[in-house]
Structure 1
């Protein structure tokens, strides 16, 4: 074959690849003024030479020609120079790309830094945007089909022999252009490369985000130095297990996880969506132009962990956390010693007082009130003095569904039906920043113990993570089949929890955003989730009227609490972890011994649905909020109502006491946040 001239024009110089159905040659075009290098793809009818085989081959040939003609003006795919049929054999003549195939750069064991992977993703996603916009699915995205062009360093996607027309553009009578997607049609032949081919493609039903899966696997290969076929899969979910093989920031890890989700419905639906989430990770210089990946700079040694650019999100603990904790720890030690001194002095005073009061000849001692009544009287006086409305914060333009206060009591965060999250300085009462990204109501928020990470849940089925100090988005977690109603972070900061409309609870790795476990917790909406103070147990409350207790380590159901006659709207553990309190649409508050299932108290003073619950920092008070516009404060041991707070003009949706007990914050459908002291 070498030296042969095809159609009197293309002389074969080298055989690049060969199979029963296709041979690819490096050739010279002898008709041009000076011989030009080109690629000739020679499609063969196969060993049998049957008519059916010839017909199938003609369809493949026609499909590739049509795809390349559609992309004829795009510079990052090879240009189609010629095509023809000779003796029932088919030929395509393509532009020769001078460059280096990516599979030579990504040799086994070679690792790239995050910066290089992000730049690579940005460039290839831009190529996929163009291809998918023409209704095409490539179906064979892999390193050997990506060539870095010598002339400009840009990546070129080659080999459109597996391309599939996924939809067509239809112009309606009104002059509108619609995409007519080919759905509900029989499966086609499974085409692709193992390791880069998702499950739906292996069944012959590829989709545009099948290409996104393949690209995500290349990025994971670049970070880990492992071939995709060598990576493990979760036996239950089918998800790829890879993050233990490398150090990767939460933001990039969550993007890659969503690119390679097992089921296409949980994956990004378009290259544009991925680019939008990738945008905050791009260095400033890359926002206008992607940085090409050079052969000399791309590989790192296999033993070197990937570097994380300073522009990228760090893991959950920021670099400044240690010094702040040290300072706070010193203050806490001083406070502890001071408190001990005061306590010892008070105890000595009490002993001396009792001695003089009870010694022979002293005056009669007044009777001591029973402990519960005595505490209630003291608490009632203290609360009436302390919890008065001091300020109303405005800024949200719709109902404020969720609030959270940092452990140091300095930061307040609020989430609203106006789709925004606002971060406030709780000491100055000033708005610090507004976070945008949710496209529906922000129904739930939670802060990490160190106050660095914010987790939010939205009506658009997403969980989002943010750096609370900078306001920078760290990642977006998908997988829920409906609005997310509740989120939480474990005490050790290792586990994220989310639950919602679909009845499931999802447990995520807080460091990298990888889904750890999905529990089909309830048949219907999960309204609330709470984690015990020791981090070993968590509870869920549902519209199905039940509360369920779960073992965090195993995901095993421990107990189901029943007693509410309507939806369980909110739950919380007492600070000592001994009791669980719940509110319900049945207008009651219940206090439980969750280990035995015993109902200890039922508090029934609200006139409408109760929707929020919180213990005071010392566990001696319990606050509940209701659609009756009131906040009620209870003594949980006796069940006595201590105080009513009334200032909101519409439903009270959330309440949070400050960790040290000086402040109570509430939010409402009236679009305000109120601060009580």
Structure 2
């Protein structure tokens, strides 16, 4: 029996000998390669996705079909496809994820139908998931098996995390157990990457990801609070092994009323105290108390295995269940059906990969109108000095340049990974783009010639000196660098002990200030790289800026503290402080230096008269949801704020009165005044850029 791929077909079953559907005429050999053998999910059960086993020249595979034309669903579908394609070629050991060929994502249009079906073909994993395995085996009864499986999954996660991706939904049902003659306890395969997320500056900074993606009982506290990080995978891994070792779902277990830790050891007497302690460490409520990375976990597992070997000296194993999974058992292979259907119940993180169908991002269908979209999140914008152009950086692996008058795209700059920062030189001659592909591209706007600058990890911030002679770059490799703009030659290395989040030049260009997740801000001589000031903080420093005269430096930290420093003096104490309840997103001086604007994850923006001698004047700017960006107009008279709910507001700086407001969708991430102050540009997580003539006189 062969099935028709057309969801609208009234009779989808056909004889194997048929080449075309007898009911609707659709070709039965999809993409001239795949014949649908039988559905792995009841047809019409999901309005969004069909899943079939297909025959690929005698090899059984799984075909997942997106049936609806919905942008959120489509981006999610593409994200899973691209994640699996990229991870398959990233050196992950032991086939630890389902295989998807480079051409495994494609579109197909049934005959006489306006539908365009998006298709993903992946390896069919022979075996069962660990949720099914628990039904027949109750629990892992041998510690050595637990250590072996924990090591396998950590090795897979190591490859995933090295690609700057984290899974976000580790649980028994998302782990397949495949029989393997070389591994007596079977081979584990991590599936369902529909919830996966790239490690972007937004993630590292701890900003909300606006997602409702989590599984109760396995999701870490920060994930429940919409701020997942790579170490959230470790929490879920620990909870998964509690389930496997006790046979009890984590939500069935009680928590210590004082510590909040899960009480589980009494239900797993086969587990030694060292292993139980390690699993509790993986599940620590605070991210800081979990292992920093997968390499540390692997070292700890190796140590635990040596302890067990010394204690027993034998290799133990349990046999995977002998029963064969039903065809429905294979449904879990790489599928994210529940996640897709969950879109209607809550907002999802916008997808974080370039479209699979466009391996060269600038060759994708042109987005000619500015108010249309990138293929993915736009997370940084910058006006050219004359205001004639707007540059945008996107997670679709491109930076694009738009003409503000005609709103047409005039240039596209491709990278090999997410583009996260963009800046014009003060004279408008150069455009710098920073990417997680570890490079910065500096393009001369008139000639189109490009200089490539290399870091050892993703580059997250760029800044030009006022004369344009120098370019500073900040990277997740723990270093900032200063380059000669016209030559692409590095003139200084500015080392930190952790991810450098931001970089800025002093107004005269003699100094560079850097903000780092090593809890410091530092000031360096531009050309020599000599450190001239170290400003110690209590938490990660996520934002930094100079005042217009260069005398003061403002910093914002993850603890919610904004501080102003008279950095050229010998005094190492801040001259002014202001506290928010949540981590700061950004700090910005007004042009006259009288005010400092701050935006925080606590949902507020504040205008702070920090120089006041008898107590600083602080005026909170009311918002409906989290403030994600603030920006002063060039004359300092107005402050623009962008909120996660999509509201853009303009306030009078002095009395903080609301003078203009517009609503553009949701998920705003950046905002900027045009140089003449007449227009505002906003960027959104859905890939949309908007130009808003906010000033009434310009409407």
Question: Which range, TM-score by smaller chain?
Answer: 0.3 to 0.5
Larger Rg belongs to: 1
Give the TM-score normalised by the residue count of structure 2. Answer: 0.37
